[in-house]
Amino acid sequence: MAAEPIHSTTGPTCKPADGPIAVTGATGKQGGATARRLLAGGRPVRALVRDKTAPAATALADAGAELALADLDEPSDLAAALNGTTALFAVPPVAYGPAGSNAELEFTRARALADAAAAASVRHVVFTGIASTSEDAFAASGKRRIEQYLREKIPLVTVLRPVRFMTNYLGVSGVSFDGFVDGAHRHLFPPNEPVQIIALEDIAEFAALAFEQPDRFAGRTLELAGDAPTPVEAVAAISAATGIALRYEQLTHDEATALNPGIAEVRQQWISGQRWHADIEALRVIHPGLRTLADWLSEGGAAALRRQFLSASE
C-alpha cells in the first residue's frame, strides 16, 4: 500500500503563506467547514460571500473571519475581494440547468476566479472538485478542465477530489432523492456493494494540511474518502444511532430516468463497475483522525437526523 494516495507534479518550493486565505463557498458546506477549520487553527480567513447579512456569513464573522463581497457571476467583484490574500480555497458553485449540471457555466465561474487570483498574485490554490472513477464518470470532465486551468494560471495548486458527503443523508438542496423520505433512503447504488463517503470536516482537514505544508501538497491530487459501507449497512447504522426504523431502496432505471436522464446515466455507469477509489487506509496515515460513518453519527450526525425525522413526523 502506498504511504500517500496522491499524484504529484513538480512545483516550486515554498513556505506557508502568512497573509489571509480567501475561501469561496464559505457559507456552504465545504467552504464553511474549511473556513471554520482554518480559523480554529489560527489562520486569517477572508470569506467571499454574496450577502454579508446572511446567518452563515455573520456566524463566520463572529468566529473571526473577514467578510468580502464577491459573486463569481460578476468577475469585477473578485479583484477587490482577493486583493492582499496569499492563498485561496476554491469551490466554484455547481451550476444547474433544465438538462442537469451546466459544466460550461461552472467552468466560466472557475476561470473568472482563477484569473482574478492570478492577477492578485495568489500563489497557492486548494481546489475541491469531485472524485474520479475507473473511467472518470459522473460529469467529472468539467472539474478536470477547471483543475487544468488552475494549474496553468497559479504557481501552486492542490486538488482535492472528495466522494459523496456524509451530510447527504440529511438531504441535498435541489436534489429530489437522497436523504430520507417516509423512512426510506433512496439512491442509485446497489444495496450490498460498498460506497465511499467522506465527512465535510475531513475535507477541511486536508485543505488545512495543504495550506500548512505547501511543500508537501502543492502540485498534488488527493482522492478523499473516510469510510465505505454498503447502502444497507449505512442505513442500518443510522437506524441504530437514531433509534428510528429505516430502510434502503435502490432507484430503478425508469425512476432515475424520470428524475433526469443524467441521473439514469450515472446509475448505469455505477452498475457497469465504475467506482470511486480513494485509498482510505493510506489517507488515515496522513490524517489519523479521518472519520468513519460511526464517528460522524456520534459527533452530531445522528442528532441532526433525529431532529429531522421528528420534525417530519409532526
Confidence of residue 16 (pLDDT cuts 50, 70, 90): low
Distance CA 140, CA 262 (A): 13
Q: What is the Cα–Cα distance from 245 to 171, expressed in whole angstroms? A: 18
**Which burial class, exposed, middle or buried, applies to 182 when counting CB atoms under 10 A from its CB (0-12, 13-18, 19+)?**
exposed
pLDDT at 304: 97
CA distance 158 to 210: 7
Measured between alpha carbons, how far is 35 from 38 in angstroms, rounded to an integer? 5
C-alpha cell at 204: 477541511
pLDDT tens per residue across span 302-311: 999 999 998 8
| pLDDT, mean of residues 277-295 | 97
Tens digits of residue pLDDT in 123-167: 999 999 999 887 655 556 778 899 999 999 999 999 999 999 999
Residues 72-98: pLDDT tens digits?
Answer: 888 888 999 999 999 999 997 776 555
On the question of pLDDT at 2 being above 50, the answer is no
Is 118 buried (19+), middle (13-18) or exposed (0-12) by CB count in 10 A? Answer: middle
Q: Say if pTM beats, i.e. exceeds, 0.85.
A: yes
Looking at residue 96, its pLDDT comes to 59
Given this model, what pLDDT does residue 75 score? Answer: 87
User: What cell was used for 12?
Assistant: 516550486
Across-strand partners of 133? 276
Q: Quick check: 9 pLDDT over 80?
A: no
E strand segments, the chain: 6-8, 21-23, 45-49, 66-69, 87-90, 96-97, 100-101, 124-128, 156-162, 164-165, 184-187, 197-198, 220-224, 247-250
Tell whether the model's pLDDT for residue 13 goes beyond 90. Answer: no
Q: What is the mean pLDDT of residues 245-250?
A: 96
Q: Does domain 6-166+198-225+276-290 have CATH number 3.40.50.720?
A: yes
Eight-class DSSP state of 230: -
CA distance 245 to 227: 22
Instruction: Give the C-alpha separation, 238 to 297, whole Å.
Output: 7
Please report the pLDDT score of residue 7 as a whole number: 44
State the DSSP H helix or E strand holding residue 201, giving kind and residue range, or none if neither. Answer: helix 200-212
Mean pLDDT in the chain?
Answer: 90
| Domain extents in the chain | 6-166+198-225+276-290
Q: Give the three-class secondary structure for 61.
A: helix
- Return the pLDDT at 242: 97
Q: Indicate if the pLDDT at residue 173 is higher than 60.
A: yes
Residue 292 CA to residue 123 CA, distance in Å, equals 33
17 vs 197 pLDDT, higher one:
197
d(CA 197, CA 228): 6
State how far the Cα of 107 lies from the Cα of 210, in Å rounded to an integer.
Answer: 23
**Distance of alpha carbon 223 from the chain centroid:** 11
With a pLDDT cut of 90, the percent of the chain lying above it is 72
- Please give the average per-residue pLDDT across 273-281, as a whole number: 93
Least confident of 74-88, 218-232, 261-275, 299-313: 261-275
